Structure 1
Amino acid sequence: MSFDVIDPSDDWPEEERKVRARRMAMYSPGAIAIARDVAYKYILFPELKTALASFDRVYQLSRELGIPQGVLLSGPPGSSKTSIADYFMRSLPPTADIVDGFGALYVRMRPAASAGFVVSQVLSAVRHPFTIVRPERMASMRDIACEAMLHKGTRILFVDEAQCLAVRGKERSLDDRDTSAGNLLRELMDRANVALVLLADHRLQHLERVDRALADRVSVRLTLAPFQNDGNWGAFLGEFSRFKVIDLSSLNETSVRAATFVATAGCRRSVKRLITEAVLVAVDDSKTAVTRAHFRLAFERTSGPGNVTPNPYGES
């Protein structure tokens, strides 16, 4: 076993010694800059294009036809549900009748959330100065939230972790009309004329069992799943070789592609984490191309010594 020694006889002040000791495993600013560029790239594979087309549709129609519009996008953790919502919001073009930045809003649910919680989240999303919703002010704050979305021209509301709608508090029932988050979401759709996009895991696939009225309004069902080790997987990894900031063409190698599937199980979040880490390693290794050795070290760092999965890129 080896030990590292921070020499106390050095002339550094005590705080500087502590800082230097903590920075022993930190990446350089240049590596961070390049890795950030890679991490914020979006690769729109077919399932994401289908989701975007559905989002575009409900976004366009939400205020035009007087018919509730909604999408349920389900998939396991790491399947790009939140990423595609983020991409949609970032890529919205400016429109005359919509306040810039408010055409699409994003909120995040929590288990057994009440209607007051949802109203508070919406008020925060529209940047209202007061977001605390007390029971006695529930109705008035709900009205403010609806009016704010109408005023700002909001057309679509993304609700992440929407499977929390299936988790009910001890004192709430399926038909609770006053305090349920589902009832509040229905009211927002009807009164503020916003489309609703629910981002959830498998627990909300049968939305009609949770909230029949909400399921009737949210008619589109889409599913995202991890990649399989097939042609789509190869095409997805191949897109990384088009990045200009660093050479990732090693992902086109059959052995590296297969090892990357073993390392990530086709989970897109895991893929992005691993590739970004490999870029950090390569840049600080003064290389312009990411190699299998860089992926090997990236897997070690992102998995940790407690991971029982053998390193698919081989031993160092």
Structure 2
Amino acid sequence: MQLDAPDPEQLALDARRLSTYSVGALRVATEADRAFVLFPDAVRALKALDRLFQLGTEFSMPQGMCLIGPSGVGKTDSFKYFRASLPQSALFSQDFAAIGVRVQSRPKTGHLVQGILKALKYPFAGGSGKQLYMRRFLVFDALKNCKTRLIWIDEAHHLLYPRRVSASSDLENEATEFLRELMDECNISLVLAGTSELDTLPDAASHLASRVPIREEMKNFTSDGNWVGFVRAFAKQCQSFDLGYIHAPEVAMLLHLATDGNLRAFKRLLTEAILIAFDRGHSAVDKEAFCSAFKQVCGQATLRSNPFV
């Protein structure tokens, strides 16, 4: 039997898709992508999470927190670190003791029910909006059976929308009412993570706000000694590639100019520089690698000036 020859155009397309970086470069850059440094804002957030986790299900009085911060400052990374560092215990399930749900714009009760059931790996998490709404009591039972102590709501500022156009500002919508019911029914600590829009929670959902009294904030780094210390600590965590270049304070300041002190932007730029330096046959990152990395992550048409030129 004669087999068809490979399509040259398809082979060329596949080669282009897979030839940007080598497998070795991807391997060493992954360490930087996964690294997490306990900087001051993260430490405060983790201490609050530890407290809420310990108090969750212990008292009838609801416990909750709003974690405020712009996109990319490390809110979700802090929660992932918190979950990964939970101790083994017979008092709770390692997988379900703290669960996270990301909400979409203008979520309904059904969206939250579906998200929680998926986080609990419930086999039948789908259904119509009405079916999911009716399953909220199933959610309460599932959370109790799984011994869940804390729920993290990501992008929680999406919760703040009026029930109807003519509604007064202090009338809760069904999503915030559901979360309030969940806290009261299950005695679970609730963390609302999102932008500064969450500061309007007392006006938009006063009853839920009274159950979420803690306010912590995570900000982009300012260009000071804390930033220099963070950059150095991050470099020390990455052992698979030499990041000694970024130890110098003047280089750390260039990195701040390039990223505005945003954790996500910093990790993206550093990861790209490692990929580029490795595939150039270098054993360490340098100014040239960061110059190219900035062009890659920001694009040739960026309106921002490249501080590494």
Q: TM-score, normalised by structure 1?
A: 0.90
Contact 2:33 2:267 in 1 (8 A): yes
Instruction: Could you tell me which runs of 5 or more consecutive residues in structure 2 were left unpaired when the two chains were aligned.
Output: 1-5
Contact 1:103 1:154 in 2 (8 A): yes
Give the aligned partner of residue 252 of structure 1: 247
Give the aligned partner of residue 232 of structure 2: 238
Distance 1:118 1:12, change over 3 A: closer
Contact 1:73 1:199 in 2 (8 A): yes
Q: Compute the RMSD of aligned alpha carbons.
A: 1.9
Distance 1:234 1:40, change over 3 A: same
Give the aligned partner of residue 274 of structure 2: 279
Name the CA distance, whole Å, in 1 between partners of 2:15 and 2:51: 53
Q: 1:40 aligns with which of 30, 34, 40?
A: 34
Deviates more, 1:278-287 or 1:266-275: 278-287
**Secondary structure of 1:225's match?**
coil
Q: CA deviation at 1:175?
A: 5.9
The sequence identity of aligned pairs, in percent, is: 33
Distance 1:124 1:22, change over 3 A: closer
Is the aligned partner of 1:108 residue 2:102? yes
Give the aligned partner of residue 180 of structure 1: 174
Q: Which amino acid aligns with 2:244?
A: S
Contact 2:270 2:290 in 1 (8 A): yes
Count the aligned residue pairs. Answer: 302
Give the aligned partner of residue 71 of structure 1: 65
Is the aligned partner of 1:122 residue 2:110? no
Distance 1:248 1:216, change over 3 A: same
Give the aligned partner of residue 201 of structure 1: 195
Name the CA distance, whole Å, in 1 between partners of 2:18 and 2:94: 41
Give the aligned partner of residue 302 of structure 1: 297
Q: CA deviation at 1:270?
A: 0.3
Is the aligned partner of 1:289 residue 2:306? no
Contact 1:27 1:280 in 2 (8 A): yes
Is the aligned partner of 1:86 residue 2:71? no
Is the aligned partner of 1:146 residue 2:149? no
Q: CA deviation at 1:170?
A: 4.2
Q: CA deviation at 1:164?
A: 0.7
Give the aligned partner of residue 91 of structure 2: 97
**Secondary structure of 1:241's match?**
helix
Distance 1:172 1:84, change over 3 A: farther
Q: CA deviation at 1:206?
A: 2.9
Q: CA deviation at 1:240?
A: 2.5
**Secondary structure of 1:217's match?**
coil
C-alpha distance after superposition, 1:257-278 (max 9, x if no partner): 1211111011111001001111
Instruction: Could you tell me which runs of 5 or more consecutive residues in structure 1 were left unpaired when the two chains were aligned.
Output: 1-10
Is the aligned partner of 1:131 residue 2:137? no
Distance 1:287 1:172, change over 3 A: farther
Is the aligned partner of 1:28 residue 2:22? yes
Give the aligned partner of residue 3 of structure 2: none
Q: Which amino acid aligns with 2:76?
A: T
The list of structure 1 runs, each at least 4 consecutive aligned residues, that deviate by more than 6 angstroms after superposition, is none
Q: CA deviation at 1:97?
A: 2.6
Distance 1:260 1:135, change over 3 A: closer
Q: TM-score, normalised by structure 2?
A: 0.92
